[in-house]
């Protein structure tokens, strides 16, 4: 049995802590830093996610994980000038691998603060250089270029966690979990998500363009590794809003939808032109932008807090301006890890530009869900697949 001692468990008082393989060697190597319990939970879940995304799309894939759920996930689709600006990478060298990770982190930059990064392919110097300037706890990848590894080893005063994963590792078909001294066993979720799962289309609109098929697969695979209940919005090869761990489906849809709306609002011309002070750090910019696009930024701006980040007080976006801007968005894909029980989920999704949906189907109110999709011309597939993850 091979084992690795960890700093502590979920909390500092939970000691001792370790990870071990009962009948084999550990399938990863720690190249730098010292892992904790949550680090490895993030690393191993995120690795499975990016490995599946790469297999499903054929493109380099990346994920940004926090507390055992993805804050973002993406594949290497080139970025336009607007995305480069809102992700703070104007003029930065971009490679397919760095593009995938920058997209993944850009989905929800506030939630990605202090993330665990996962890459499907070798970490190159461009990706490492981008990570060096961001607040991140660690990374997992199948390999690292010599230059990338040197860059990462200097991060966090030499303490940045770097894990190299064996890309050929396959887990045992039966997995075991212990809760309160008792053991639970189940088969490993090795279900493969392919375009075939989108063939059952009960809506009048049955048109799923190639880009929508890609985005729906990205959403479904991402949800496979997101704490349930979960719903995710995707567009352009990346997640733009993930609602994780909610007890009701509509709260998942609302939470993910609000994140998708904020992602859209970051691209509003007024937001792109915010007069930031030159000495403001990127995390502070992220926080300020989130306040600026929120429902009521006036209170924060009125008390003089704007002076810490802006050279002059910006005029807040009105509710009508936000509604009109978000209303321009279309072509968004939405995935759900189980069926939608009511049409209210579709109503909320429509407000964030959703044109394509993939959900399990099987609700006693499927007719209502289909009818609501037809009202807006949304194409929806019943996958017949539940993707709960706990």
Q: Please report how many Cα atoms fall inside a 13 Å half-sphere around the Cα of residue 112, on the Cβ side.
A: 30
Which of these is catalytic: 66, 224, 268, 350? 66
Catalytic residue check, 67: yes
Active site residue 229: yes
Given the residues 67, 153, 204, 251, the one annotated as active site: 67
Q: Which of 32, 39, 45, 229 is catalytic?
A: 229
Question: What is the set of active-site residues?
Answer: 66-67, 229, 390
């Amino acid at each position: 049995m091979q084992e690795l001692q960890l700093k502590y468990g979920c909390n500092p008082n939970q000691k001792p802590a370790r990870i071990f393989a009962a009948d084999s060697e550990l399938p990863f190597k720690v190249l730098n830093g010292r892992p904790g319990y949550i680090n490895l939970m993030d690393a191993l879940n995120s690795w499975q996610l990016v490995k599946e995304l790469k297999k499903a799309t054929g493109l380099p894939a990346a994920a940004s994980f926090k507390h055992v759920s993805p804050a973002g996930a993406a594949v290497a689709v080139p970025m336009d000038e607007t995305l480069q600006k809102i992700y703070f990478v104007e003029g930065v060298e971009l490679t397919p691998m760095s593009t995938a990770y920058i997209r993944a982190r850009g989905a929800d930059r506030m939630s990605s603060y202090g993330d665990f990064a996962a890459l499907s392919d070798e970490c190159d110097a461009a990706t490492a250089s981008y990570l060096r300037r961001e607040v991140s706890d660690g990374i997992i990848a199948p390999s690292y270029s010599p230059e990338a590894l040197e860059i990462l080893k200097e991060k966090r005063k030499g303490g940045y966690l770097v894990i190299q994963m064996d890309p050929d590792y396959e887990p045992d078909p039966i997995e075991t979990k212990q809760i309160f001294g008792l053991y639970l066993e189940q088969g490993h979720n090795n279900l493969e998500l392919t375009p075939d799962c989108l063939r059952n289309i009960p809506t009048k609109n049955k048109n799923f363009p190639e880009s929508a098929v890609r985005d729906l697969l990205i959403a479904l695979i991402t949800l496979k590794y997101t704490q349930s209940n979960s719903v995710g919005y995707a567009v352009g090869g990346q997640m733009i809003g993930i609602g994780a761990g909610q007890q009701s489906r509509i709260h998942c849809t609302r939470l993910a939808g609000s994140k998708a709306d904020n992602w859209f609002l970051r691209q509003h011309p007024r937001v792109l032109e915010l007069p930031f002070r030159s000495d403001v750090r990127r995390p502070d910019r992220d926080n300020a932008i989130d306040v600026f696009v929120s429902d009521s930024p006036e209170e924060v701006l009125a008390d003089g807090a704007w002076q810490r980040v802006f050279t002059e007080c910006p005029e807040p976006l009105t509710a009508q301006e936000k509604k009109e801007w978000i209303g321009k968005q279309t072509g968004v894909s939405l995935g759900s890890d189980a069926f939608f029980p009511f049409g209210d989920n579709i109503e909320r999704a429509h407000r964030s530009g959703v044109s394509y949906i993939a959900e399990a189907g099987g609700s006693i109110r499927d007719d209502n869900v289909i009818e609501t999709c037809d009202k807006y011309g949304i194409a929806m597939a019943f996958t017949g697949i539940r993707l709960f993850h706990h």
